[in-house]
Structure 1
């Protein structure tokens, strides 16, 4: 008899946990849909909200753009050099440039930009959670309303999404320039072959998939932590110094990357 009761309790606990998880995911999707509608609404961008949004974009993008670009350029330079030298040693130099573009530009740069913005948001959350002297102006426990969504949530979501898109696009262009310089040097005579190779990689389907994947990355990084913070504040749960929704965000990024690879190569 006790064994049956314990089994019943375990199944009931699993059922409640499943329902809570489904409700949490639905609330995240619902919040993302509301924020997207408000972000596309012209009435959101009054003078005050435009100023708030510009401040968040400056803090999330412009302040980190130089040193993230330097870090990504250094990493890309090393990786490009390794790929080119290895391809030359094995007589596969004709495939070196395509491999660099496919691995770095299509896969690593968008994912690294999304992870960088997510980790930076996590460090900001930890600093705010551990410091009481200067509390954050954003209070997740405050009741949500349309005015608060427009003034607090939408600017932060837009800033996070804009940061991922900007870092990914700018560094993709820098990687393409570095790849040309390493393969052809400063000579302009390599431009026809280079543009032909890059154009062969970036056909219509690949370009569309790259753009959609980057947009989905930016939306995930912007919406998932915000929805988790609001949910944790509403339920009075503690994140133990970890950014709310970190595990869910990494899961969403992994699913987006996996779906992109499946659609592209299978």
Structure 2
């Protein structure tokens, strides 16, 4: 009987893992629905709430804006040079810029912007929420008639969404400019062909998929880290409890990326 004990614990361990998995994802979905309702509610945007939201947006975007823009410019220069040189060596120079735009603007920039915002903005904000919850600040807010979701969570989620979309949009513009300068230099002679090629890449379907992907990336990196801060995910006793939220966030980002690839190329 003693030899059967380790094996008998395996289904119970699987059941506990399944329970934690369902609980974590149900809380993410619930919190996302609550945030959506609050965003659409006019009562959310009182003067004090607007000031708080503006402050969180500024603190979440301004400190990382310049650094990520420089990073995106350097990344664009390196990738553009590699792609152009490789295309020239194979006699495919006419496809080099289109490949750069598809790889950089459509795929790498939105994902990189979302991950950068997650590491620099939303994950630290989620840790702040966890500290507030553990210190009893949420209970103090409820005792004084304030909702922690409305006053603490919502501004941080919207700030994360705003930062991710802003960085992605600005970096895409920087990538397009740097790609043009890398190939044509400071010369407007290639502008007609470049804009025509840009229009061929960004068809209505591709533009819609790109916009939806950017928005869903921003929602994923803004909402999932906050859920771990607002709630006890049930993984506190596990060695990898701090990685649970990151794993879920990366899983959602990967799923969105796969769906966007299917929408763009199939």
Give the structure-1-normalised TM-score.
0.88
Q: Within 5 A, what are the aligned runs for 1:90-129?
A: 90-121=90-121, 124=124
Between Structure 1 and Structure 2, the one with more helix by share is: 2
- Shift in alpha-carbon separation, 1:124–1:16, aligned structure 2, 3 A: closer
* CA shift in 2, pair 1:125/1:32, >3 Å: closer
Per the alignment, residue 139 of structure 1 pairs with 132
The correspondence of residues 74-223 of structure 1 with structure 2, limited to 5 A, is 74-121=74-121, 124=124, 139-141=132-134, 142-143=138-139, 147-223=147-223
RMSD after superposition: 2.7
Instruction: Give 3-state SS (helix, strand or coil) of 1:91's partner.
Output: coil
Q: Note if contact 1:224-1:249 (Cα within 8 Å) is conserved in structure 2.
A: yes
Q: 1:217 to 1:52 in 2, by over 3 A?
A: same
SS at match of 1:207: helix
Contact 2:122 2:221 in 1 (8 A): no
For the residue of structure 1 that corresponds to 2:147, the secondary structure is helix
Task: Indicate conservation of the 8 Å contact 1:76/1:104, yes or no.
Answer: yes
Post-superposition offset of 1:47 = 1.0
With over 3 angstroms needed to count, the CA separation of the structure-2 counterparts of 1:238 and 1:225, relative to structure 1, is farther
Scaled by the length of structure 2, the TM-score of the pair is 0.88
Flag structure 1 segments of 5+ consecutive residues without an equivalent: 129-134
2:233, 2:106 → 1: CA distance?
37
Pair 1:67–1:241, CA change in 2 (3 A): farther
Structure 1 CA distance, aligned partners of 2:121 and 2:54? Answer: 17
Residue 133 of structure 2: SS of its match in structure 1? coil
After alignment, is 160-169 or 60-69 more displaced?
60-69
Using the TM superposition, name which of 225-234 and 52-61 deviates more. 225-234
**Residue 225 (structure 2) pairs with residue 225 (structure 1):** yes
Q: Is the 8 A contact 1:101 1:176 kept in 2?
A: yes
The answer for the alignment partner of 2:26 in structure 1 is: 26
Aligned residues: 259
Structure 2 alignment gaps of length 5 or more: none
